[in-house]
Amino acid sequence: MPIRVALIGLSASATTSWASAAHLPYLLSPPGRAKFTIVALLNSSVDAASAAIAHYNLPPSTTPYGSPDALAADPNVDLVVGNTRVDTHFPTIHPSVVAGKDVFGEWPLTQNAQQARTLVEAARTAGGRSIVGLQGRISPVANKLREVLRAGRIGKVLSSEVRAFGGMNDREILPRGFEYFTQRDIGGNIYTIGFAHVNDLVQSVIGEWATEPVKSETARGHFQLQRPTVRIRGPDGKFISTITSDVPDLINVVGPVAGPDYVAEGATLNFRLRRGQQFPGDPALVWSINGEEGEIRVTSPAAVMSISIGNDVSPPTIEVHDFKSDTVETIEWVWADWQKSLPPPARNIGQLYEEYAEGLKGGKESYPTFADGLARQEQSERFLEHWSA
């Protein structure tokens, strides 16, 4: 019997469309339909949910909801999937977590670590499974890098550096509807989304920034707000307002990592992200992993998030420089055949669904959970706690 899914935030008129871009394509694909069926939608009102059901041609039997509590009480829903703006994640999914349902929470999991902690405890008490949308760590790029490192291609990792640009398409302009990216309290911005997604992937490969001193060093963050004045542009291209941001637009975190056995003790990770466009001709992201016998370089030409989401137009590349032979080899990575038929944003999200379904059958639960999301939010807040705009 297919797993019965309720989607929260699949809207016919939303500013952002992650639910329709990343979740719906998989759920309506042949692999998705074989394992899942959409039975309910929750939006801001029953009318809004009904409009989305009609807009996306979902079965008329799909139940529309306007209340998180009403959805949580539906015995015909197995998995609740939250896709709203981050400041509504907690109130929309918490009732279903408390009710013991399995819940897929998009990233960022909540506005802050305290809310995430509450979700983790509620899930533990009620017994439901949880998934968090940190899909980069199970991507083909991350899997291939771990494979190359485990094979000893570059010896033990000595250091790693990420240099990235983006987070939003422009250094000082936001489209209307994204004003919340300038408000730290909302919880959705380039630090918690763009930086955090790639940061999670990177640490899944080379290890976590150490919480305890390693050779007297600990990880620390340095932040700057270079452009506090942000212009808002309407859909017609005209500027409609100017607002002040309190979100850092230059992010730099450096420190030792506690990694797998292919990482040397005291190996350092340095991650730098600057909001906005890179120098013309430069890639959006270059990630180097320096080892005893060689170096890996990962390049994402057009968008910093391509490394975790995927991009058919300019996909990330992996290269290995062998120090002894002084040769460079391009390492191929591939999508699974079923992923190739989906738009890029849906491919790694689809893998999360696949691994969740496998876990229900008694297989290994290899997908990230709320506990993983809490750990990442606690880490992010720890780096930022002494900074103010």
Are 3-133+346-368 and 137-334 equal in CATH topology?
Answer: no
What pLDDT sits at residue 15?
57
What share of the chain has pLDDT > 90, as a percent? 85
DSSP letter (8 states) at residue 309: H
Q: What's the token pair of residue 46?
A: 């029953």
Q: Which helix (DSSP H) or strand (DSSP E) does residue 74 occupy? A: none
More confident residue, 52 or 303: 52
CATH of 137-334, one of 2.50.20.10, 3.10.20.440, 3.40.120.10, 3.30.360.10: 3.30.360.10
What's the rounded mean pLDDT across residues 352-379? 92
What's the rounded mean pLDDT across residues 96-110? 98
What pLDDT sits at residue 4?
98
For 171, 180, 188, 207, the CA distances from 184, given in Å and listed in that order, are 17, 8, 7, 27
Residue 212 confidence (pLDDT) above 80: no
User: What ranges do the domains of the chain cover?
Assistant: 3-133+346-368, 137-334
Query: Which residue has 């017994």 as its token pair?
Result: 127
Q: Which alpha helices (DSSP H) does the chain contain, by range?
A: 18, 24-27, 30-35, 46-55, 68-72, 89-98, 113-126, 140-150, 196-206, 306-309, 337-340, 344-360, 370-384
CATH superfamily for 3-133+346-368 is NAD(P)-binding Rossmann-like Domain (3.40.50.720)
Cβ partners under 8 Å of residue 333, min gap 6? 140, 141, 143, 144, 318
* Predicted confidence (pLDDT) per residue in 49-97, tens digit: 999 999 999 999 999 999 999 999 999 999 999 999 999 999 999 999 9
Residue 312 confidence (pLDDT) above 90: no
At residue 14 the predicted structure's pLDDT band, cuts being 50, 70 and 90, is: low
At residue 362 the predicted structure's pLDDT band, cuts being 50, 70 and 90, is: confident
CA-wise closest residue to 191 among 107, 259, 268, 303 = 107
Instruction: State the angle between helix axes of 370-384 and 196-206 in degrees (0 to 180), rounded to the nearest 10.
Output: 110
What's the rounded mean pLDDT across residues 150-158? 98
What pLDDT sits at residue 216?
65
